[in-house]
């Protein structure tokens, strides 16, 4: 029997990992599969110059495998720059599990995933992301020590989301200082898109400060619960990207700043928790700058969670976690000032600072 060889051009057009624009010099990408539990996961290790690659595991019903791969690569790369700019001795990594966390996440699947994490021998350390709970990390901990974000009862630092929210709040206040000359958010109108673990906690900080909070989520029950708890208002317009607010806080999934949305924004500031908010970092970063919208780079202001889980590895306490998270205010302000001074986007300014730290460590190794 003869087989027709696939010519290399056809092959690369059909599927490319190294050529994927999100690949961006990843050190290692691991595809994990287990037929018995139905596990299909991808672990991305982007860079380990500063330390082991730490980043959460996301479980999501991706439309296809290519979408899952692109997501893990973009998220893992983001972790490299997040830890670098935050001054942590950590590299960047992330994992995705393909599937619906509500219906397909079983203890067996999580433990099998943990085995794959363990095989990497500490090159990658996991934690929670979308679709994961502290209890899942506790389960992973029964299989491997290479996990953070475990519960306080089990000796961990607990759920990182409230700290992430506090960091986002700090970054948002710094952006307000830059844009409005005052960090006080009292009477500012803020739209929080996605009121999950982080979003809800952000709503709490905002309402405590007297901001007018609008909320949006695809989960109606959460919307009503959060509205009632914090006296927030459910956003009722057709297109939330057109909302007449001072600040837009994306706290659901990434890439909400894209060709379709960018022309609609009325907000003067964008500051939220979601990872990879800019669909195209360079292009959309530049468009925001042209429009005079102050963008607090996601990987700078959503670092509270990684600061919290890093405490588990470095054994520092709550007071240090809070202090390091409050530093996000100064870092954000410096980045926004640098962006103006050097006439580059805020994303580029943050990226440059992070890259300089990685390069310096590389030279000294």
**Least distance to ligand NAD, CB of residue 155, Å:** 19
**Least distance to ligand NAD, CB of residue 364, Å:** 29
Would you count residue 197 as binding ligand NAD (CB under 6 A)?
Answer: yes
User: What angle is formed at CA 261 by the lines to CA 189 and CA 187, rounded to 5 degrees?
Assistant: 5
Contacts (CB under 6 A) with ligand NAD, residues 7-46? none
Tokens 């780079």 map to which residue?
Answer: 297
- Chain residue at closest Cβ approach to ligand NAD: 196
Stretch that binds ligand NAD, among 90-98, 110-118, 158-166, 323-331 (CB under 6 A): 158-166
Binding mask 211-250 toward ligand NAD (x if CB under 6 A, else -) reads -----xxxx--x----------------------------
**Least distance to ligand NAD, CB of residue 128, Å:** 6
To the query of whether residue 94 is one of the catalytic residues in this protein, the response is: yes
Catalytic residue among 40, 94, 112, 289: 94
Would you count residue 209 as binding ligand NAD (CB under 6 A)?
Answer: no
- How long is the chain? 365
Contacts (CB under 6 A) with ligand NAD, residues 298-337? 302, 305
Exactly one of 88, 110, 130, 191 binds ligand NAD (CB under 6 A); which one?
130
The residue count for binding ligand NAD (CB under 6 A) is 26
**Least distance to ligand NAD, CB of residue 36, Å:** 27
- Cα–Cα dist 15/360, whole Å: 35
Tokens of 36: 């018995």
**Least distance to ligand NAD, CB of residue 218, Å:** 5
Would you count residue 275 as binding ligand NAD (CB under 6 A)?
Answer: yes
Catalog residues that contact ligand NAD under the rule CB under 6 A: 129-130, 160-161, 164, 193-199, 216-219, 222, 251-254, 273-275, 302, 305
């Amino acid at each position: 029997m003869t087989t027709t060889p696939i010519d290399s051009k056809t092959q690369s057009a059909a599927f490319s990992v190294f050529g994927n624009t999100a690949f961006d010099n990843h050190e290692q990408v691991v595809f994990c599969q287990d037929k018995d539990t139905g596990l299909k996961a991808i672990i991305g290790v982007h860079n380990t110059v500063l330390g082991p690659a730490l980043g959460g595991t996301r479980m999501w019903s991706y439309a296809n495998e290519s979408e899952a791969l692109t997501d893990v690569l973009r998220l893992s790369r983001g972790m490299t720059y997040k830890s670098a700019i935050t001054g942590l001795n950590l590299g960047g990594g992330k994992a995705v599990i393909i599937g619906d966390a509500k219906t397909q996440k079983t203890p067996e699947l999580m433990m099998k995933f943990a085995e794959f994490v363990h095989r990497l021998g500490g090159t990658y350390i996991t934690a929670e992301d979308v679709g994961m709970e502290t209890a899942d990390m506790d389960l992973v901990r029964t299989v491997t020590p290479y996990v953070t974000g475990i519960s306080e009862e089990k000796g961990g630092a607990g759920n990182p989301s409230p700290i992430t929210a506090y960091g986002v709040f700090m970054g948002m206040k710094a952006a307000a200082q830059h844009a409005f000359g005052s960090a006080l958010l009292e009477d500012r109108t803020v739209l929080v898109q996605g009121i999950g673990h982080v979003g809800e906690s952000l709503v709490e900080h905002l309402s405590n400060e007297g901001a007018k909070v609008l909320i949006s989520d695809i989960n109606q029950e959460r919307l009503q619960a959060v509205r009632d708890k914090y006296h927030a208002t459910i956003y009722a317009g057709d297109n939330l990207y057109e909302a007449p607010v001072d600040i837009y806080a994306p706290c659901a999934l990434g890439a909400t700043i894209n060709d379709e949305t960018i022309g609609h924004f009325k907000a003067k500031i964008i500051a939220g928790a979601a990872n990879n908010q800019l669909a195209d970092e360079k292009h959309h970063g530049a468009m925001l700058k042209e429009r005079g919208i102050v963008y607090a780079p996601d990987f700078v202001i959503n670092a509270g969670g990684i600061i919290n889980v890093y405490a588990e590895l470095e054994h520092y306490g709550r007071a240090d976690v809070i202090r390091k998270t409050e530093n996000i205010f100064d870092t954000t302000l410096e980045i926004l000032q640098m962006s103006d001074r050097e006439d580059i986007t805020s994303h580029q300014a943050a990226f440059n600072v992070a890259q300089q730290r990685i390069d310096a460590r590389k030279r000294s190794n």
